[in-house]
Structure 1
Amino acid sequence: MNFKVVAATASLGGLLFGYDTGVVSGALPFIRDLFQLSEAMQGFVVSIALLGAAAGAAAAGQLADAYGRRKVIIVVAGFFVVGALLCAIAGNVPVLLAGRLILGVAIGVASMLTPLYLAEMAPADKRGSVVSLNQMCITVGILLSYIVAYLLSEMDGGWRWMLAIGCLPGVVLGLGMIALPESPRWLAGQGRHEEAAAALKTLRGGADVSAELAALRTDLTRSDGALVPWSALLEPRVRIPLIVGVGLAVFQQVTGINTVIYYAPIIFEKAGMASTSAAILATAGVGVVNVAMTYVALKLLDTAGRRKLLLIGLAGMAAMLAVLTLGFAIGTEGPLAWIATLSVAAYVGFFAIGLGPVFWLLISEIFPLAVRGRAMGVATVANWGSNLIVSQVFLMLIAGVGSAATFGLFAVMTVAALAFTFALVPETKGRTLEEIEASFAETGAAR
C-alpha cells in the first residue's frame, strides 16, 4: 500500500477537526439571530463542543492503548457523522447543543489520535511533514468551512447546510480506515510481532524492515510490552516531556488562536466591516493564509527543525497581536477594518508555521511508547480545557474590558510562550521516536 494513501486517509480526521471547528464561525451569527442567543449563550454553543473535545481526548489515550489506534478512529468517524446531522436538523437549542457535544467528543479524539497514528507509521526522516499533514488538513478544513459559510450565507436556512456538509468527510474517513493497517508500534507493544512486521512491510512498500522492527522490539523490552499504570506519567523520564506537552497545549490556546477561528466574523464586524457576508469573506481570506503558511511549515519542519519554527512563529504572533491591540485602541473605524484584517491574517500565518503544527507534532514524538497514548491524552485535554475557558470568556472579555485590552492580554501570553519555548522545548528533527525517548530518559535520570 502506498504510504501517501495511508497518510492522506488518516489525515481526514484533521479535515473533520478543522471543518467542524471552523464552521461554527460562519453559522453562529445566523444561529444567534434565530434562537435569540445572549453573548454568554453564544459562547456556550461554541464551548460545549470544547467540553466534549476535552472528554474525548481524556478517553482517547486509554482506548487507543487498549484497542488500537485504527479501531478507535473508525468509531470516531461515526461520531462525526451523527453530530453533524444532529446540528443540521436542530429545531431548538438543546438538540443543537447535543449535536455540538457529540461533535466535540469526535474532535477531541481525532485531535489526539490522528497525529499519534501518523507519527507511529512514518519513517523518522519524514515524520515532521507526515504528521503535519494532519495540521494541513485542519487548516484546509477550516478554510473549506469559511468558503461554504460564505457561499451559503445568503441562503435561507443556509447555516443548516453549513453544518450538514461536515458529515461527508466522516463517511469517507470511516470507510477508508477499514482498509488501512494498524500502527506497527502498537502491534509490537501488544506482542504481535508478526503483524507488526507485516504492517511495516506494507507501509515501506515491501522493503527490508528488520532494522526498524528490531528498534521497536528494543523499545518493547524496556516497557515490558504492557499497559503501565497511570502513575508512570510521574516517572522522571516522562516528567519533562509532560511539562513541555502540557505547557505548549495551554499556550496554544491562551495566545488567542481559536478566538479568531470561532469568532473572526464577529471580530471583523466590531472592526467596522459593512455586513456579515463581508466579514465571512474576510475570514475566508485569513483561512487562505492559514493553509498557505501551513504548507510552508510542512516543507520546513524536517529541515529547519521544530524549535526554530516555533520561536519564529511565536515572535511574529506577539508582534501582530501588538498591532491589533494598537488598532483597536486607536479605534478609527475605516482604517481599523484593514488593520484588523491584515494583522489577524499575519497573526494566523505566524501561528501556522509555528505553534499550530509544532505542538501537535511534538506531543506525538516526545512521550515513551508505554504511555504515549495516555500522555498525549493529558496534553490534549489541557489543550481543549484551555480552549474551552478562553472561548467561553472571549465575548464577555470584549464586552467587559474592550477589544484592545483583550488582544493585549493575548500578546502578553504569547511573550510568555516564547520564553517557555526558549527554556524548555527541545529539537527532535531527524531522530527516531526511540532515540527521542532514550534522550528524555537520560535527562530524567540525570535530574
Structure 2
Amino acid sequence: MATANTDDTQASGGDRFIYLTAGLAALNGLLFGFDTGIISGAFLYINNTFTMSPLVEGIVISGAMAGAAFGAATGGKLADQIGRRRLILLGAVVFFIGSLTMAIAPTVLVLVVGRLIDGVAIGFASIVGPLYISEIAPPKIRGALTSLNQLMVTLGILISYFVNYAFADTGDWRLMLGTGMIPAVILALGMLKMPESPRWLYEHDQPDAARAVLKRTRESDIDAEMDEIKKTVDKQSGNGLSDLFESWLRPALIVGLGLAVFQQITGINAVIYYAPTILESTGFGSSTSIFATVGIGVINVVMTIVAIALIDRVGRRRLLLVGVGGMVVTPGVLGAVFYLPGFGGILGWVATGSLMLFVAFFAIGLGPVFWLLISEIYPLSVRGSAMGTVTVANWGANLLVSLAFPVLTANLGKPSTFWLFGICSLLAFVFAYRMVPETKGRSLEAIEADLRDNVSDSVGATGTESVPSRE
C-alpha cells in the first residue's frame, strides 16, 4: 500500500510539473504574439513622433520579421548545440533588450534596430517553444501541451490589443512597446528552475539526467521510453542538416516548408498587423478600430482553446482541413464587403465579423497544427535545425506578405487582395489533403521509425489516407 501511495503521489506531482513546465515554456509564444499585435496599435501613433515615407513605414513594421528570420536561421542550430532551455533564456534576454530599445528610441533608425532585436528573440521563440514542449511532454497529451505555445501566441496578441487600447487616448506608443519587457522577465525567471529536454540530454551523453527529467514528468514506464530514445539516438547518422535532403526525410521537409509558406500567404498576419488600419478604412475612428481588434483577439484565444481541447482527440489532420476550409470562404465574404458600396456604418461591423471568422478558422487549423507538426515529424538529430529551416521559410513568407499587403491593396484593391488570400487558402487545403500525415497519440520515436522504414511515405498521399481511416 505504501508503494502504491508513493507512486500515486509521484504521478500527481509529475502531472503538475509537466503542466507547469509546458506553461512556462509556452510563454515563448506570448512574446511572439505580443510583438505581433503591439506594433499594429502603436503604429497608428508613431507617425505623430516621426515623419516616415511609406517605404520607411514598411521597414518599421517588417523589421521584426527580418530579425525573426535571422533568429530562426540561427536558433535551430543553437537549440541543438546549447540546449533548448538555454536558448529560451537567451531569447528572453534579447526580447527585453529589444523592447527597451524601442521604448527609448530617439530616431527611426534606433526604432528599426529595436524591432530587429525583438525579431531575433521571436525567431528563437518560434522554434524553441514548440520544440522544448514536444520533447518533454508525454505522447498522449503532447498535442495539447505543444499547442499551449500557440495559445500563448494568441493570448499575447490579445494582451497587446488591450495594452494598445489602454494607451489609445494618450497615444503613448513608447509605453505600448516597452510593456514587452514584462513577459520577457517572467519567462527568464520562470525557466531558471526548469529542466532541459530529456531527449537533448540523452543525445549529449547525459542519460542519468534524461532519466531524472522523465521521472518528474511521466506516469508511464520510464525504462520503455528511455529504450526508445536510446534506439533513436543510436540510429542517428550524424550528418546534421544534410539529412533533410535524404530520400526518407524529403517528404517531411516538403510538408514543413509547404505549411510554413501557406500559413502566411493565406493572409493571417496581414490581418493581424493591419487589422486597425483595415477597420479604420471602413469609417471607424482610431480608438474604435483598436477596440474592435480586441474582439478579434478574443476569438483568436477562444478558438485556440477549442483546438487544444480537440487536437489529441480529433487529430491534427482533421482540424487542419476544417480550419483551412473555412479560410477559403471568409476572405471571399470580406472581399465582397469592400466591393459592394453603400453599407454605411454597418460596413465596419460586417468587416469585423468576417475578420473574426477568418481568424477563428485559422486558430483551429493552420495556427496550432503547423507548429505542432513541425515539432513532431523530424528526427532528433536534426529536429532543432530542421525546425529552424522551416521557420525561416515561415518568417520569410510573413515578411513578403506584410510588405506586399499595402502594395496589393493599393494596386489591386481590397476586394481582389482578400479574394487572392481565399485562392491561396484553397491551394493550402489541397496541399494539406494530399500531403499531411496524422501523428496523434504516437511517440516521437515511433514517428521517426515510420519515416526510416518508409511506412511514413504517409507524408505522401497514400499514408495520409490510411492513418486517419484507422481512427
Inter-partner Cα distance in structure 1 for 2:42 and 2:240? 43
Q: Does the CA contact (< 8 Å) of 1:61 and 1:376 recur in 2?
A: yes
The letter for the 1-side match of 2:316 is R
Task: Provide the residue aligned with 2:393 in structure 1.
Answer: 382
Inter-partner Cα distance in structure 1 for 2:170 and 2:401? 31
Report whether the alignment pairs 1:436 with 2:447: yes
Task: Provide the residue aligned with 2:8 in structure 1.
Answer: none
Inter-partner Cα distance in structure 2 for 1:329 and 1:442? 52
Task: Provide the residue aligned with 1:146 in structure 2.
Answer: 161
Listed one character per residue, the Cα deviations across residues 124-152 of structure 1 (whole Å, up to 9, x for unaligned) are 01000000000001100000000110011
Q: For structure 1, which segment, 433-442 or 109-118, has the greater mean C-alpha deviation from structure 2 after superposition? A: 433-442
The letter for the 2-side match of 1:218 is K
Inter-partner Cα distance in structure 2 for 1:403 and 1:161? 32
1:234-245 matched pairs, under 5 angstroms: 234-245=245-256
Identity rate of aligned residues, in percent?
A: 50
> Displacement of 1:60 after TM fit?
0.8
Report whether the alignment pairs 1:334 with 2:348: no
Inter-partner Cα distance in structure 2 for 1:345 and 1:397? 22
Report whether the alignment pairs 1:322 with 2:336: no
SS in 2 for 1:197: helix
Inter-partner Cα distance in structure 2 for 1:440 and 1:167? 42
Inter-partner Cα distance in structure 2 for 1:193 and 1:317? 45
Inter-partner Cα distance in structure 2 for 1:162 and 1:186? 37
Report whether the alignment pairs 1:232 with 2:243: yes
Listed one character per residue, the Cα deviations across residues 56-106 of structure 1 (whole Å, up to 9, x for unaligned) are 000011111111111111111100100001101112101100100000000
Of 192, 195, 202, the residue aligned with 2:216 is 202
> Displacement of 1:214 after TM fit?
0.9
Task: Provide the residue aligned with 2:425 in structure 1.
Answer: 414
Task: Provide the residue aligned with 1:165 in structure 2.
Answer: 179
Q: Does the CA contact (< 8 Å) of 2:244 and 2:250 recur in 1?
A: yes
Of 183, 187, 190, the residue aligned with 2:197 is 183
> Displacement of 1:221 after TM fit?
1.1
> Displacement of 1:230 after TM fit?
2.5
Report whether the alignment pairs 1:134 with 2:144: no
Q: For structure 1, which segment, 131-140 or 398-407, has the greater mean C-alpha deviation from structure 2 after superposition? A: 398-407
Listed one character per residue, the Cα deviations across residues 196-216 of structure 1 (whole Å, up to 9, x for unaligned) are 1111112237x7511111111
What is the TM-score when the length of structure 1 is the normalising length? 0.96
> Displacement of 1:445 after TM fit?
9.0
1:27-426 matched pairs, under 5 angstroms: 27-156=42-171, 158-204=172-218, 208-223=221-236, 227-273=238-284, 275-332=285-342, 333-426=344-437
Listed one character per residue, the Cα deviations across residues 26-69 of structure 1 (whole Å, up to 9, x for unaligned) are 10110133212233222211111100000000001111111111
Structure 2: runs of 5 or more not aligned: 1-13, 461-471
> Displacement of 1:336 after TM fit?
1.9
Inter-partner Cα distance in structure 1 for 2:324 and 2:221? 41
The letter for the 2-side match of 1:270 is S
Listed one character per residue, the Cα deviations across residues 109-133 of structure 1 (whole Å, up to 9, x for unaligned) are 1001100000000000100000000
The alpha-carbon distance between structure 1 residues 341 and 367, as it changes in their structure 2 partners (threshold 3 A), is: same
> Displacement of 1:316 after TM fit?
0.6
Q: Does the CA contact (< 8 Å) of 1:239 and 1:444 recur in 2?
A: no
> Displacement of 1:20 after TM fit?
1.0
The letter for the 1-side match of 2:321 is L
1:11-30 matched pairs, under 5 angstroms: 11-30=26-45
> Displacement of 1:345 after TM fit?
0.3
> Displacement of 1:443 after TM fit?
2.6
SS in 2 for 1:35: coil
Inter-partner Cα distance in structure 1 for 2:48 and 2:414? 22
What is the TM-score when the length of structure 2 is the normalising length? 0.92
Inter-partner Cα distance in structure 2 for 1:43 and 1:444? 46
The letter for the 2-side match of 1:186 is W
Q: Does the CA contact (< 8 Å) of 1:136 and 1:291 recur in 2?
A: yes
Inter-partner Cα distance in structure 2 for 1:269 and 1:36? 20
The alpha-carbon distance between structure 1 residues 445 and 357, as it changes in their structure 2 partners (threshold 3 A), is: closer
Inter-partner Cα distance in structure 1 for 2:60 and 2:224? 50
Inter-partner Cα distance in structure 1 for 2:453 and 2:250? 12
Structure 1: runs of 5 or more not aligned: none
> Displacement of 1:399 after TM fit?
1.5
When the two structures are aligned, how many residues end up with a matched partner?
A: 442
